[in-house]
Amino acid sequence: MSELAIELQGIDKSFGLVHANRNINLKVRKGTIHGIIGENGAGKSTLMSILYGFYQADHGDILVDGRKANIRDPNAAIAAGIGMVHQHFMLVENFTVLENIMLGAEESQILNAGITKARAELKRLEKEYALEVDPDAVIEELPVGIQQRVEILKALYRRADILILDEPTGVLTPAEADHLFRILEQLKAEGKTVLLITHKLREIMAITDEVSVMRRGEMVATRTTKETSVEELAELMVGRRVLLRVEKGEAKPADVKLSVKNLTVRDSRGVTMVDDVSFDIRAGEIVGIAGVAGNGQSELLEAISGIRRAKSGTVLLNGSPIDVTGHADPAELRKRGLAHVPEDRHHVGLVLKFEESENAILGYHDDPKYRKGMLLDIDAIRADAEEKIAAYDIRPPNPRLKTANFSGGNQQKIVLAREMERDPDVLVIGQPTRGVDVGAIEFIHRRIIEMRDQGKAVLLVSVELDEIRALSDRILVMFAGRVVGERTPDATEGELGLLMAGVEGRKEAAE
């Protein structure tokens, strides 16, 4: 029996002219949590997709438990004891938890007998790994943290001894991430091996035993986690020293650019998600909204940007009203100087089947500089895309590539470049660095500060409390759809955490 759960030898993979993996060698010991980090486009997800059978390597070998494995598809990976939890979950949203876990692994031709057996096995797994989930709950009604547990249970149900997690905390709250780490420690204690792909270096330091660093398709280093540091790992990832703190001067607020008064928004079920919210944002300041996901931040951004109709309230942009309760037109708001970076880049920010250059002008395609008479000026559009690619270091630097083929972080940079480069008066931005690597985070934070210093008004929503505290000049905290407090950036994490939980907010309201 080998002491290695996984060994990759000389893995090489190209997609046309893009050399995604270059002669990768990797050893992962059994019963450990092994981190894999790297910039967006470094080749991490490609490598794990090869290990899980989504792609076939052009060259190289995969060894599982010391034996060469022919992993030609995900079924072969599952047979070899490998499970994968993807960054974007692979669940059927209108199926129950139990149905999703059974899907593709039905063992009995008599369905009722198979369901009974699966329910018993699921109950055992839930108890053994502290992965409590209602087996009869419908997936689309579950928060993302619980959906992720379902993905992990799916892999364990299929007898996975090696579990790959791709950016597992990208959609989780801090509390959900902490619970996930406890689950991973339990899996490790039971002898499972975990491969953790993440951009978050502090998570790497907190949870892993070893960490391997990829850069531009190559494996550049492997370190024992307790013998390295965040600073060394960041430099290995990017190839240069990285500033891990946000440097900014004092804000110089001027005129009010965005004014929100008594805004109330309901969701499709009629549930009030934004409840009588009021605030102003001035030119030259960043107002951050902190809160646990699901407390109305998303609906607030959607109402302000014209995507969702409000029940009541008023919003003024540069002193003129936005018809938030009627038919606010996002295209008209863009012309009036409001740019929006949506939280969900896949469903709202991009058309994944479009080329990068097409997404780079999405929503602004009527601009005369992109047109030649009645037709689009393709040469002008691609030239504009190349400028944004260079300015935002989007990889691979190919405006003709389908957007679906970029990594999540590079997709995010496509959206950011499109909106920021329009020189808006007001920038409404949700989760600016979700799924983005440490080098790109440094760049995005610097660009947001530059926009503030140029006199722009910025409304920032992020589930990353460190990001909110680092960037904001004022912090509003939302709980249950209401703004329950306002704080300065020097407020402690504990103080903000109590507000986010609604504890301090109730006390302030009473006073």
Same domain, 396 and 457: no
Domain assignment of residue 345, yes or no:
no
Domain assignment of residue 266, yes or no:
yes
Tell me which of 184, 219, 238 is where a domain ends: 238
pLDDT digits (tens, 9 = 90+) for 18-54: 899 999 999 999 999 999 998 877 889 899 999 999 9
| CA-angle at 481, arms to 479 and 487, nearest 5° | 45
Q: Which residues of 332-356 are buried (b: 16+ CB within 10 A; e: fewer)?
A: ebbeebbbbbbbebeeebbeeeebb
**Does the pLDDT value for residue 357 go beyond 90?**
yes
Lowest mean pLDDT among 5-9, 17-21, 161-165: 17-21
Same domain, 117 and 157: yes
Instruction: Give the range of the structural domain holding residue 405, as residue numbers without chain letter.
Output: 351-423
Contact 388, 416 (CB under 8 A): no
**Does the pLDDT value for residue 170 go beyond 90?**
no
CATH of the domain at 492: 3.40.50.300
**Does the pLDDT value for residue 338 go beyond 80?**
yes
Same domain, 309 and 365: no
Report the pLDDT averaged over residues 443-466. 93
pLDDT of residue 144: 75
pLDDT of residue 507: 53
Strands (E), 17-154: 18-29, 33-38, 59-64, 67-69, 82-85
**Does the pLDDT value for residue 419 go beyond 50?**
yes
Contact 171, 86 (CB under 8 A): no
Residue with tokens 């947001």, as numbered in its chain: 448
Helix %, strand %, coil % of the chain (to 5): 35, 25, 35
Report the pLDDT averaged over residues 378-399. 94
Tell me which of 397, 423, 449 is where a domain ends: 423
- How many structural domains does the chain have? 3
**Does the pLDDT value for residue 288 go beyond 60?**
yes
Percent of the chain with pLDDT over 70: 94
Tell me which of 395, 423, 451 is where a domain ends: 423
pTM of the model: 0.70
Alpha helices in 130-196 (DSSP H): 144-157, 174-189
Report the pLDDT averaged over residues 96-119. 74
pLDDT category, 315, cuts 50, 70, 90?
very high
Contact 382, 356 (CB under 8 A): no
**Does the pLDDT value for residue 6 go beyond 90?**
yes
Report the pLDDT averaged over residues 392-408. 90
Report the pLDDT averaged over residues 386-392. 95
Same domain, 252 and 331: yes
| DSSP tag of 138 | B
Same domain, 414 and 430: no
